[in-house]
Amino acid sequence: MDTSQFIQLTRRPRRLRQSVAIRNLVEETQIHTKDLVQPLFLMSGQNTKEDIPSMPNIYRLSLDLLLYEVEDCLKLGIQAFAPFPYLPDHEKDHLATRSVQEDGLYLNAIRMLKQKFPEICLFTDVAMDPYSSDGHDGIVENDEILNDETLVVLGKMALAQAQAGADFVAPSDMMDGRVGYIREVLDQAGYHKVGIMAYTAKYASAFYGPFRDALQSAPKFGDKKTYQMNPANSQEALVEAELDFLEGADMMMVKPALSYLDIIQKLSQNFNIPIAAYNVSGEYAMLKAAAQNKWIDGDRVAHEILLSIKRAGAKVIFTYLAKEFAARS
């Protein structure tokens, strides 16, 4: 071979891509099943499983089936779960009363889950929307979402969930001051070991559509823009993060994930507690729709999506892809 044809290049990045072995050695990011949190949709009834058309392979499950689902996931190595309750409209009211009902759907499920599977890490959702006849995360008065009045409800919910066995209560409501308020309520009741995973930078996003189908929890009027963040803003996420950190959050979440990778990176570079990201329902729906049409290779794209979220700086990833990822690993 005539080597004179080669140009002089001191640095050839392709050397590090020459073989599987080398690529493996220099790989910077890996996704493990144990990074993932599986969201679950819970409904009342027995042996009941309902499709969510916009979320293929994800179902609303009655508690008996939900327990089997968790067992399946555990066998695959998933250790963390985030259940959300589905309530029919006639059980919803302005004050989200069912959210603190001792023998209600959600608290019962938390108790059962921790009793059957004490080893799991359970993130419970603190927000009014699944139980609210207004479909909002806070108390509504004259079309306004009240902040401080809502904190009282959230505090009660968080305490009830802690008593039922939550490892982390996860306020997803975006009211001001809720992390500090919840921390105080928990501590006063002696639940200093129960953590807070704050939905810190939660944007007013159109990517939540399929989730709202799943829970039939879409706002009955208006939108969530007076409490969830403007997708145009990033500095504001640092303000939210600073507050949540000072108020005692143990983990801070960015949500959605994919259109907000810059926010994940920003928080992870500025705060030394674990950053979580929620790969939300609409992101899942887009992936599944394209994959079903065979327009993309769904498995590979799923892996790439999860990698991007972790590479951006998320330690913990809430994703509807958890189970299928675990099954492939």
State how far the Cα of 159 lies from the Cα of 172, in Å rounded to an integer: 15
Residue 36: phi and psi, rounded to 5, are -105, 145
Candidate list 111, 156, 212, 315; residue touching ligand PBG; CB under 6 A: 212
> What is the rounded CA–CA span in Å between residue 302 and residue 77?
18
Nearest CA-CA partner of 259 in 208, 196, 217: 208
* Least Cβ distance, residue 279 to ligand PBG (angstroms): 8
Region for 152 from its dihedrals, namely left if φ exceeds 0, alpha if ψ lies in -120 to 50, beta otherwise: alpha
Asked if 167 and 121 count as a contact pair (C-beta separation under 8 A), the reply is yes
Q: Is 202 a catalytic residue?
A: yes
Write phi, then psi, for 199 (nearest 5 degrees).
Answer: -75, 85
In whole angstroms, how close is the CB of 287 to ligand PBG at the nearest point?
13
280 is an interface residue for ligand PBG by CB under 6 A: yes
Which one of 211, 227, 260, 271 is in contact with ligand PBG (CB under 6 A)?
211
Verify binding: residue 172, ligand PBG, rule CB under 6 A.
Answer: yes
Binding mask 219-238 for ligand PBG (x = CB under 6 A): -----x--------------
> Rule CB under 6 A: is residue 268 a binding residue for ligand PBG?
no
Name the token pair of 266.
Answer: 């920003």
Residue 27 to residues 16, 19, 22, 307, Cα–Cα distance (Å): 10, 12, 8, 11
Active-site pick, 92, 224, 255, 266: 255
Of 9-17, 103-111, 207-215, 286-294, which segment contacts ligand PBG by CB under 6 A? 207-215
Which DSSP string corresponds to 249-296?
A: -SEEEEESSGGGHHHHHHHHHH-SS-EEEEE-HHHHHHHHHHHHTTSS
Out of 281, 287, 313, 322, which residue is the one contacting ligand PBG (CB under 6 A)?
281
Q: Which two structure tokens, joined as six digits, stand for 43?
A: 């409904």
The CB-of-212 to ligand PBG minimum distance in angstroms stands at 6
Query: Whole-number minimum distance, CB 172 to ligand PBG, in Å?
Result: 4
> Cβ closer to ligand PBG: 130 or 294?
130
Contact call for residues 49 and 62 (beta carbons, < 8 A): yes
- In the bound state with ligand PBG, the residue whose beta carbon lies nearer, of 62 and 205, is 205
Which residue in 98, 95, 85, 100 sits closest to 138, CA to CA? 95
Q: How far is the CB of 45 from ligand PBG (least distance, A)?
A: 22
Measured from the CB atom, the residue of 280 and 302 that comes closer to ligand PBG is 280
Q: Which is nearer to ligand PBG, 53 or 118 (CB)?
A: 53
As beta bridge partners, residue 140 has 145
- How many positions of this chain bind ligand PBG (CB under 6 A)? 11
What is the SS3 assignment for 95? coil
Instruction: Assess 33 for contact with ligand PBG (CB under 6 A).
Output: no
**Taking CB under 6 A as the rule, does residue 55 contact ligand PBG?**
no
In whole angstroms, the minimum distance from the beta carbon of 211 to ligand PBG comes to: 3
Q: How many CA atoms lie within 13 A of 35 on its CB side?
A: 25
Q: How far apart are CA 228 and CA 242, in angstroms?
A: 16
Kindly identify the residues of this chain, within the stretch 105-144, that bind ligand PBG according to CB under 6 A. 127, 129, 137
Binding site for ligand PBG (CB under 6 A): 127, 129, 137, 172-173, 208, 211-212, 224, 280-281
State the catalytic residues: 202, 255
